[in-house]
Amino acid sequence: MDLQLTPKQLPSINGNFETYKADLVKQIEGYKAMPLTEETVAPVKSAIRSIRTTLEKIETTAVSAYFESPKKVLKAQFAELYTIIAEGEDKVDAIIMEDTRKRNESTTIRLQNYITSKAASMALDKDVIDFVKLEKQFYNKSQKEADSLDAVDNQLVTLEKNFAAYNRAVKKIEKLAKEIGPTFNKQRFMYALSKYGDNNDSTASLAEEEVDRLKAVVPEEARPVPVPVPVTAPSATRQYESPEGLDGVVVSVGFPLFDKKKSKGSDDLSFTFSVPKELKKSFTELLKELKEAGIKSSKL
């Protein structure tokens, strides 16, 4: 005797599917027509979710009672019902998405305005706004405004410290480059700096270490440091006529011949001279003599 698992006649599926479908359409259309907002949408979403959950339970029970052919028919019919429910869910989700977008946009604008205003009173550039991270929790509905602003303030304080370190490092590297000359790869260290990063002090320290290393291997004469040069030409000695009643003073200074093409540049030195009025003419003549040796002066 063979075990017969498939009946000779397929079981028919009876029920009130069309009536249930009509009622479901009416119910979902009612929800879709409601003037929903972010505040009133929650109970509607809950009601639609409840309808879906109930239908899933009915489907599971019904389908398990039939074989494949009736099962396929049931699946197709349930798919129609799910499509109707999805239309309601789409309407609700669209409202939530739009309200969330507006809230996030408002939060971003408010925080950016605060950052701009706060940075104006600190030692920071305007571009700091691009380096303040707007954390994910800032956009939570439950997030307190004071907590968000405190977090922003903490970031700005850190960025201010990093920016100060950046400026110090730039000056330090420029000074080292001037001191050691072209043997020092200034651009290498400038490139490693980060305007608001936290590596600027360490980069300046590395630059100092590199200069110390170069000083140990570069000959003294190769460095752009002034080296006393013996006078190779007779020193120009002049005696200026002293004003009446004053003893004459002979000023004698020896300089090597100045060759502009071979010059390694010049340094600006700041001095203030206090010259007696009766010696002003003689002092002016002295400055002219210095100019012939390549030493220029200018009035402040």
User: What are the φ and ψ backbone dihedral angles of 217, each rounded to 5 degrees?
Assistant: -115, -20
| Residue whose entry in the numeric block shows the structure tokens 């003073």 | 249
Kindly list the distances between the CA atom of residue 261 and the CA atoms of 21, 25, 124, 257, 258, in Å, as whole numbers in the listed order: 99, 95, 43, 12, 9
Q: Are residues 99 and 167 in the same domain?
A: no
- 158 occurs within a structural domain: yes
Q: Indicate whether 135 belongs to any domain.
A: yes
Domain end point (choices 83, 108, 133): 108
220 and 141 within one domain: yes
What's the pLDDT at 297?
A: 75
- Give the pLDDT of the chain (300 residues) as one tens digit per residue: 353 445 555 566 677 888 989 999 999 999 888 888 888 889 999 999 999 999 998 888 776 666 566 677 778 888 888 998 999 999 999 999 999 999 999 999 999 999 999 999 999 999 999 999 999 999 998 999 999 999 999 999 999 999 999 999 999 999 999 988 888 999 999 999 999 999 999 999 999 999 999 888 856 555 555 445 454 444 444 444 555 555 555 555 555 656 666 666 676 777 777 778 777 777 777 777 777 667 777 766
One domain for residues 104 and 151: no
pLDDT of residue 278: 77
When divided into structural domains, the chain yields a total of 3
CA 9 to chain centre: 74
Residues 140 and 76 in one domain: no
Do 192 and 211 reside in the same domain of the chain? yes
Residues 248 and 241 sit within 8 Å (Cβ to Cβ): yes
- Write down the pLDDT at residue 222: 55
Q: Are 216 and 233 part of one and the same domain? A: no
Is 115 domain-assigned? no
213, 127: one domain: yes
* Interatomic CA distance for residues 203 and 173, integer angstroms: 9
pLDDT of residue 177: 92
pLDDT of 273 reads 75
Distance of alpha carbon 62 from alpha carbon 81, whole angstroms: 15
Same domain, 103 and 31: yes
- Is residue 90 assigned to a domain? yes
Domain that holds residue 76: 17-108
Which value, in Å, is the radius of gyration of the alpha carbons in the chain? 44
Same structural domain, 128 and 185: yes
Residue 58 lies in a domain: yes
**Residue 59, pLDDT score:** 83
Q: What pLDDT is attached to residue 232? A: 46
> Does any domain span residue 264?
no
Phi, psi of 17 (to 5 degrees): -55, -50
Residue 200 included in any domain: yes
C-alpha–C-alpha distance, residues 55 and 186, integer Å: 73
Tell whether 51 and 85 lie within a shared domain: yes
The answer to whether residues 150 and 165 belong to one domain is: yes
In whole angstroms, what is the distance from residue 116 CA to residue 127 CA? 9
Co-location of 213 and 128 in the same domain: yes
> Cα separation of 209 and 182, whole Å?
16
Assigned domain for 261 exists: no
